[in-house]
Amino acid sequence: MANRETVSEDRDGTKRIINRFSPEPTNFVLLLLGLLEMKMTHTPENRTYWNETAAATAFPRLFGDVNADVAIIGGGIVGITTARMLKDMGQAVAVIEARRVGRQVTGKSTAKITSQHSIIYQTLEQKFGEDRARLYAGAQESAIRKIRSLAAHYGIDCDIETKSAYTYTRDRTYVSKIEKEVEVAQRLGLPASLVNQTGLPFDILAAIRFDNQAQFHPTKYIAGLAKTIPGDRCHVFEDSRVVDWDPARVVTDRGSVTARYVVMATHLPLEQVGGYYALAYPQAEPVIAARISRAPNGMYINVEQPSHSIRTHTQQNGDVYGIVAGTSFKPGHTDDERKYFQDIEHWLTSNFDAGPIEYRWVNEDYSSMDNAPFIGWSSSIGDGYLVATGFDAWGITNGTAAGMILADLATGKENEWLKVFDATRVKPIAGGPQFVRENAEVAAQLVSGYLSRKPKSFDELAPGEAAIMKIDGQNVAAFKDEQGRVHAVSSVCTHMGCLVGWNETDRTWDCPCHGSRFDLNGEVIHGPATKPLAMALPDSR
Ligand code: FES
């Protein structure tokens, strides 16, 4: 068996090394592999609807040293919006994206542009008081207007459509919560009304309707907005993974950006910056897309479990797709992943006359302990980073509001929304290591719990099977692909040492503790980890 390294390209255009352990192929085997890979590309797993229906981007890699006013790590909705806002203020910005802009978390969302975040306003009013709940509401409505104005001003073709948003229930015990949410939302100035007709193809008991909301194509929007940034001392770099940083400098494998401030627009700040790994917890959610012939004319989510969120997208040929997200689960917990995918597939096909499921992927979100995002300086003593995290699955408007706030802070302006979002409002939990240890134990149980079959060597792995193994004392995460190639890496997450779990839809190793994701070869998809999973030792093969 030979150690081989070849380069492949993901659907998002990211180049990566594959085949670390593989037998020497014959021409016949190569032909067979090609046929099998062609077949694999037509399965719905790890196919992200938005990323496959948007043109590829081609921003340069960062080479050499660049100076800017603000360095922004991450090219999703937070990073690109912040960059656009700062450029409007005359600032020089450099966006540094490890993979491709708009194709990670933003490109895997349902992309609802709405201030209706399920029934959050009664919770916020209770936890933060009416005034700050009103600020949250105002930030979301401003974000809706900002997305519309940016798309219109720059002529971004991102399929933006005005829609009403509905949060509904079919469970009698939730009706009073719906009624309460309407009362609070109206008092906060939101466009809310109580209805019992929604356009859904089934009866509901009560619903909140927010008018004048919208939906769009997130990958097209981010790519279009990113294209407006280069020039006038501003840059967007792709395929440039950050390997080191301090509050005034960012270093990649081939270059660096020196700046007055650094924005961490990386979903969760990298590694242990600000201690947010202990303040926001990760949730994975299953998402599917299929053609539907009974399309509802709005955006919907229910309150009770299991969760069903749906919106539509109409393609140029008139085909309408239903995009459905389901109940959140702990990353890497494969039992729940299977259960909730099955649930939303049944729900979509039985209610909306859906064709075969064509796209199936997993997204991740972070939720804060008090339900509001953390946005702003990571430290109150002037030595911090600008950060944004904990959007609780409502990242399109929260991410846009974050861009507006971070741009204000980087230019010395005040922003009243900080009264609710202030990222220093809760001190990192003392005893972080204990928190991590406990999570590590949970993760270990979780991983060993779902693997009813426990192969002891790679030879025992069936094609398409993944396993966490203990080989010669090593914790090994192994996957055997349909061609018989074994992809084996350490199962110990490089962030803080939890054991990763298997994401069978995307074929990634996901960490249940703080949400880092790694590909089959251990490369980081997104952090907080920044280092790849270690290679399994050759003698463990
Ligand atoms: Fe923190 Fe894995 S993401 S230990």
Tens-place pLDDT, residues 253-288:
999 999 999 999 999 999 999 999 989 999 999 999
Nearest CA, atom 4, ligand 1 = 496
pLDDT at 31 over 50: no
Q: Which of 160, 401, 154 lies closest to 299 in space, CA to CA?
A: 160
Nearest CA, atom 3, ligand 1 = 514
- Cα–Cα dist 149/141, whole Å: 12
Q: What is the pLDDT, as a whole number, of residue 439?
A: 52
- Whether ligand 1 lies within 6 angstroms of the CB of 483 is answered as no
Counting from 1 in the atom list of ligand 1, the atom nearest the Cα of 500 is 2
pTM for the structure as a whole:
0.88
Span of 16-30, 478-492, 516-530 with lowest mean pLDDT:
16-30
- Whether ligand 1 lies within 6 angstroms of the CB of 511 is answered as yes
Q: Which uninterrupted H or E stretch holds 146?
A: helix 130-153
Q: What is the pLDDT, as a whole number, of residue 380?
A: 73
Q: What separation in Å is there between the alpha carbon of 313 and the centre of ligand 1?
A: 35
- Whether ligand 1 lies within 6 angstroms of the CB of 526 is answered as no
Mean of the pLDDT values across residues 405-414?
97
DSSP 402-461: HHHHHHHHHTT---TTHHHHBTTSSPPPTTHHHHHHHHHHHHHHHHHHH-SS--SSGGGP
At 281-313, the pLDDT tens digits run: 999 999 999 999 999 999 999 999 999 999 999
Mean pLDDT of the chain: 87
Mean of the pLDDT values across residues 171-181?
98
Mean of the pLDDT values across residues 230-247?
96
Q: What is the pLDDT, as a whole number, of residue 538?
A: 52
Q: Which residues pair with 280 in a beta bridge?
A: 368
pLDDT at 35 over 70: no
Q: What is the pLDDT, as a whole number, of residue 427?
A: 47
Q: What separation in Å is there between the alpha carbon of 436 and the centre of ligand 1?
A: 8
- Cα–Cα dist 464/477, whole Å: 13
pLDDT at 448 over 70: no
- Cα–Cα dist 272/148, whole Å: 35
Q: What separation in Å is there between the alpha carbon of 478 and the centre of ligand 1?
A: 18
Mean of the pLDDT values across residues 477-482?
92
Beta strands in 299-385 (DSSP E): 299-302, 309-314, 320-325, 359-368, 374-377
Task: Assign 44 a pLDDT band (cuts: 50, 70, 90).
Answer: low
- Whether ligand 1 lies within 6 angstroms of the CB of 68 is answered as no
Q: What separation in Å is there between the alpha carbon of 203 and the centre of ligand 1?
A: 42
Q: What separation in Å is there between the alpha carbon of 525 and the centre of ligand 1?
A: 13
Q: What is the pLDDT, as a whole number, of residue 473?
A: 82
- Whether ligand 1 lies within 6 angstroms of the CB of 496 is answered as yes
pLDDT at 25 over 70: no
45 CA to centre of own chain: 17
Counting from 1 in the atom list of ligand 1, the atom nearest the Cα of 497 is 4
Q: What separation in Å is there between the alpha carbon of 165 and the centre of ligand 1?
A: 35
331 CA to centre of own chain: 12
Q: What is the pLDDT, as a whole number, of residue 432?
A: 43
pLDDT at 79 over 50: yes
Q: What separation in Å is there between the alpha carbon of 339 and the centre of ligand 1?
A: 24
- Whether ligand 1 lies within 6 angstroms of the CB of 66 is answered as no
Q: What is the pLDDT, as a whole number, of residue 449?
A: 41
Q: What separation in Å is there between the alpha carbon of 534 and the centre of ligand 1?
A: 14
